[in-house]
Amino acid sequence: MSKKYFGTDGIRGKIGEYPMTPDFVLKLGWAAGKVLTTNGHPLVLIGKDPRISGYMLESALQAGLAAAGVNVRLLGPMPTPGVAYLTRAFRASASIVISASHNPYHDNGVKFFAANGMKLPDSTEHKIEAYLDHDLVTVPSEDLGKSVRIKDAAGRYIEFCKRALPSSMSLKGLRIVVDCANGATYHIAPDVLMELGAEVFAIGNAPNGFNINEKCGATDVNLLREKVFQYRADIGLALDGDGDRLIMIDDKGEKVDGDEALAIIAAFRRNETAVKTGVVGTLMSNLGLEQAIKGFDLPFYRAKVGDRYVVSQMMKHNCVLGGEGSGHLIVRDHTPTGDGIVAALQILRAMISTGKSLHDIKQVMRKYPQTLINVPIKKSINLDKAASVQAAVKQVESQLGERGRVLLRASGTEPLIRVMVEGDDVSETTLLANEIAGAVREAA
């Protein structure tokens, strides 16, 4: 059964346009309170990124949760993985993150975590949507929820992140540029790295409510590349607006994406018993990652796109490593959700232990050229029944043979069809991807 509001990462949209309106979010808070706190411990945490609309949505969620009889702890600006960790630390029934991740400031979203710090299964999201069709009924006044602000949330999460590095290991001697995307890690990531001994140059750490992800962060590493050269840094770390993605720049100025980062971590940890069960990527993961993981004599599994689907496959196969090319990296023996800071510390650990640069250790994977085109659509289309699109796909697949692959999928967060063509020649993949994208535009 399809969902009316929830996408692959919660509910997201442009502020002021349904469903990202105060009245809808208020009722969403009430519906979530009715569904998520049935275990008799009505406590929900709320964290957010620094975009301007977060204050409005936070107030609306508070009101809705209070009407359902749920107590609230407000964390303030907090990375998504930090909220997930604190959910477990506070023994809360659930938590909510107000963020649109890598989207611009005029968008926002609401996503949920269960008591175990993991994203909700589809079945729970269906239950919340069902409550949204009911009339909002407020509990008696004596049962209304109360809100309290947690003042040391950032410090708690900083200490958690630092534990991802062995206590005997220091980052002393490393020069690191960290780009916080003017997002939720602005007051956390630089402190984690400095307290572990690194010389840190922070950028994108001055959020004003409007500049989140603006020409910075994991979606735009041009500024980070400039700063890596300017400060003669060993590595540049780019996080996204809510801190659950990591993209890197090596000392040569080359971009290192999530697939390459996953290969690096898997290569470094491949002899550990916990890693022997394999590594999980997605349908979009580069063919080079699959070949690298299998070359380490480890199984490789592909999940649907979306970090919660990656986690689901990781649990199914008892894997501790998984991720996406976009930079969502899950190191499940540290935390059950994607965490950009924890992932960065895994990379830094590999660099320190091997004595090699990021540029050198990324050579464990040969990256195949991969062309991705996002085709905007005004209405939903069934790709399987679009004859012209399927004909274009078959023609491209026939031309590539075993040298590459094609993938089409609808975005779960934006009105887009994503067209991906992968092969051994970038000119060819670009040409073929544009052919399929043209067919999709005509069908849309």
Instruction: Please state the φ and ψ torsions of residue 250, each to the nearest 5 degrees.
Output: -85, 180
**What token pair was written down for 321?**
């490593």
CATH of 11-151 given 3.40.50.1820, 3.40.120.10, 3.30.365.10, 3.40.640.10: 3.40.120.10
For 422-441, what is the mean pLDDT? Answer: 95
Residue 34 near residue 72, CB atoms below 8 Å: no
Per-residue pLDDT tens digits for 125-183 = 999 999 999 999 999 999 999 999 999 999 999 999 999 999 999 999 999 999 999 99
Q: pTM, whole model, 2 decimals?
A: 0.91
Rounded Cα distance between 230 and 222, Å, is 12
Strand partners, 321: 279, 331
For 171-197, what is the mean pLDDT? Answer: 98
**What pLDDT does residue 203 have?**
98
Rounded Cα distance between 183 and 180, Å, is 6
Query: Annotation-wise, does 307 bind a ligand?
Result: no
Banded pLDDT at 2 (limits 50, 70, 90): confident
Could you confirm whether domain 171-243 is CATH 3.40.120.10?
yes
Rounded Cα distance between 112 and 95, Å, is 6
For 203-218, what is the mean pLDDT? Answer: 98
User: Which amino acids are annotated catalytic?
Assistant: 101
- DSSP β-ladder status, 416-422 and 300-303: unpaired
Rounded Cα distance between 341 and 346, Å, is 9
Query: Annotation-wise, does 234 bind a ligand?
Result: no
Of 281 and 381, the structure prediction assigns the larger pLDDT to 281
Average pLDDT, the chain: 95
**What pLDDT does residue 410 have?**
87
Query: Annotation-wise, does 122 bind a ligand?
Result: no
Q: Where are the domains of the chain?
A: 11-151, 171-243, 254-367, 370-443
DSSP for 184-212? TTTTTHHHHHHHTT-EEEEES----SS-T
Per-residue pLDDT tens digits for 50-74 = 999 999 999 999 999 999 999 999 9
The CA-to-CA distance between both ends of the chain, in Å, stands at 23
Helices (H), 165-306: 189-195, 222-230, 258-269, 287-295
User: What stretch of H or E contains 279?
Assistant: strand 279-282
**What pLDDT does residue 1 have?**
65
Banded pLDDT at 99 (limits 50, 70, 90): very high
Query: Annotation-wise, does 244 bind a ligand?
Result: yes
The CATH code of the domain at 254-367 is: 3.40.120.10
**What token pair was written down for 66?**
């209070």
In three-state secondary structure terms, 199 is strand
The CATH code of the domain at 370-443 is: 3.30.310.50
> Would you say the CATH fold of 370-443 matches that of 171-243?
no
Per-residue pLDDT tens digits for 3-53 = 899 988 899 999 999 999 999 999 999 999 999 887 666 899 999 999 999
**What pLDDT does residue 305 have?**
87
**What pLDDT does residue 414 have?**
80
For 242-249, what is the mean pLDDT? Answer: 98
CA distances 148 to 51, 68, 83, Å, are: 21, 16, 15
**What pLDDT does residue 252 have?**
98
Per-residue pLDDT tens digits for 326-368 = 999 999 999 999 999 999 999 999 999 999 999 999 999 999 9
